[in-house]
Amino acid sequence: MAAIGSAVGLGNVWRFPYVCYKNGGGAFLIPYLIALFTAGIPLMILEFSLGHWSRSPPPLAFKKVNKKLEWVGWLSSLTPFVVASYYVVVMAWCFAYMVYSVNLLWEPDAENFFFNFLGKTSGISEIGGISIPVLLGLIAVWLSIFIILYKGVDRIGKVVAITVPLPTILLIILTIRGLTLPGAIEGVSYYLTPDFSKLLNVNVWLSAYAQVFFSLSLAQGILITYASYLRRDSDISNNAFITSLADAGTSFLAGFTVFSVVGYLAYVKNVDINHLGIAGPHLTFITYPTAISLLPFASAIFGMIFYIALLTFGIDSAFSMIEPMASSLNRKWRISKFKATAIICLVGFIASLFFTTGSGIYWLDIVDHFIANFGLVAVGLLECITLGYLYKVSLFREHANKTSDIRIGRWWDLLIRYVVPSILVMLLILSIVENLKKPYMGFPVYALIIAGVLPIVFIVIASFVLQRVKR
């Protein structure tokens, strides 16, 4: 349940529907499902198996594989920590918007979201002041993360029993509301009308793999950490299938939620859907609330439901990003869980303050772009190479098979050793080429280095340092 909570997050609501629409609509489901079965599920089985076999958080798990590899574990625990530093900021925006929706205080337009609410400055070099509503939201989110994590895994279990089913139910309610609006059918046909010619484009396939990676929380040390808490007789493969399919199902459903309402907005405003923001912050804080505010009745309630759903979807992804570091510090140096969690949440809070300023949204965009396109892919690649070649990967398969109903065959070894790494290498090369061709979004090069390259360099160095510090 916690793994599902980690996987299902903002990525399912604001990323999948859009990626699907852009890459061939209904036809995209083919590369997506292929990516899920050839990379997502196999890698998840590997991570679950490693965590379950070693009963340790990532650094110690990798160390059990090979003494020299502890740093790979640190790297895979530090990466999600960087993701957390901005992911919680987006949750803080949701938090503030949830409060606003009580009496529809928002003026849902771009002007208001960017300039009044975020205090967005005219360019990245102008820092601007801290946005107070965002700061308050941020404190609330970090505090919740701390309270959920510091007592250990039992509390995580109790929390996810609520925060996983609840937003799913809310999403279903919103979908039913959306689908009964005029224009909804046009919206949905935008989402799903298949364009099979897109399947000839290699970028569409890479997008499918990238989406699967991000959405399943792979290569983040999270699934390794969670699996280390499982009972000895827990079913590995079954859990991997359930987690992945639940995540894919939620993404698919969210497409209906989003596009039905976007279709309604296009209908009311009599514009083409293409002119509306249908992904990322634009969708969540401008387009969707605009549509909601135009509902014939109970718009405040549906607005609240939407933000509560996002917050509860997001919170278990957010704390899952912290848990690998907390668990690793706790296990390597016997720092109490309370202290370890406190230190990490405090450092995380300070780091995320960076994103509450007027230029925060620019920085957030850059960090996200680099860590999602390089960090995640590179860690995944390292995992496949280290576990696939330096260790007999078949031993992990045998470990998983010992307790699993679904028995995996030799084909799995081939996927981990050849298929997944080749795809990751392609993804990596493609990103590098694109980023070298022109600076991302036209940002100044110094900003790309500070926010894109430095965090990655920093976590690589930190990983080696953490490996060297004696127990």
CA–CA distance, 194 with 185 (Å, rounded to integer):
15
Q: Which stretch binds ligand PHE (CB under 6 A): 4-12, 275-283, 351-359, 410-418?
A: 4-12
Confirm or reject binding of residue 215 to ligand PHE (CB under 6 A): yes
Map residues 279-318 to x or -, x wherever contact with ligand PHE holds by CB under 6 A: --------------------------------------x-
User: Cβ closer to ligand PHE: 42 or 358?
Assistant: 42
Selected from 1, 3, 7, 266, the binder of ligand PHE by CB under 6 A is 7
**Smallest separation, CB 244 to ligand PHE (Å):** 11
User: Cβ closer to ligand PHE: 119 or 167?
Assistant: 167
Confirm or reject binding of residue 221 to ligand PHE (CB under 6 A): no
Q: Which two tokens stand for residue 409?
A: 């065959």
Map residues 318-347 to x or -, x wherever contact with ligand PHE holds by CB under 6 A: --xx--------------------------
Confirm or reject binding of residue 6 to ligand PHE (CB under 6 A): yes
**Smallest separation, CB 270 to ligand PHE (Å):** 33
Handedness of CA 172, 208, 453, 467 (dihedral sign): positive
User: Cβ closer to ligand PHE: 380 or 421?
Assistant: 380
Whether the CB-CB separation of 290 and 265 falls below 8 Å is answered with yes
Selected from 93, 95, 113, 214, the binder of ligand PHE by CB under 6 A is 214
Map residues 386-425 to x or -, x wherever contact with ligand PHE holds by CB under 6 A: ----------------------------------------
Q: Which stretch binds ligand PHE (CB under 6 A): 114-122, 125-133, 213-221, 234-242?
A: 213-221
**Smallest separation, CB 11 to ligand PHE (Å):** 2
User: Cβ closer to ligand PHE: 56 or 215?
Assistant: 215
User: Cβ closer to ligand PHE: 86 or 205?
Assistant: 86
User: Cβ closer to ligand PHE: 2 or 61?
Assistant: 2
Interacting positions 38-97 with ligand PHE (CB under 6 A) = 80, 83
Tell me the chain's radius of gyration from C-alpha atoms. 21
**Smallest separation, CB 266 to ligand PHE (Å):** 26
User: Cβ closer to ligand PHE: 92 or 393?
Assistant: 92
Selected from 175, 220, 330, 404, the binder of ligand PHE by CB under 6 A is 220
**Smallest separation, CB 62 to ligand PHE (Å):** 18
User: Cβ closer to ligand PHE: 163 or 317?
Assistant: 317
Closest CA to 83 of 209, 240, 219, 244: 219
Q: Which stretch binds ligand PHE (CB under 6 A): 66-74, 111-119, 216-224, 403-411?
A: 216-224
Which burial class, exposed, middle or buried, applies to 9 when counting CB atoms under 10 A from its CB (0-12, 13-18, 19+)?
buried
Selected from 77, 163, 217, 284, the binder of ligand PHE by CB under 6 A is 217
**Smallest separation, CB 304 to ligand PHE (Å):** 21
User: Cβ closer to ligand PHE: 106 or 256?
Assistant: 256
Tokens 């089913």 — which residue? 165
Q: How many CB atoms lie within 10 A of CB 333?
A: 13
Confirm or reject binding of residue 373 to ligand PHE (CB under 6 A): no
Closest CA to 288 of 158, 136, 181, 396: 181
Whether the CB-CB separation of 72 and 324 falls below 8 Å is answered with no
| Cα distance from N-terminal residue to C-terminal residue, the chain | 32
Q: Which stretch binds ligand PHE (CB under 6 A): 10-18, 179-187, 383-391, 441-449?
A: 10-18
Interacting positions 222-261 with ligand PHE (CB under 6 A) = 222
Phi, psi dihedrals of residue 357, rounded to the nearest 5°: -80, 175
Closest CA to 74 of 60, 85, 59: 59
User: Cβ closer to ligand PHE: 265 or 311?
Assistant: 311
Interface with ligand PHE (CB under 6 A) = 6-7, 9-12, 80, 83, 214-215, 217, 220, 222, 317, 320-321
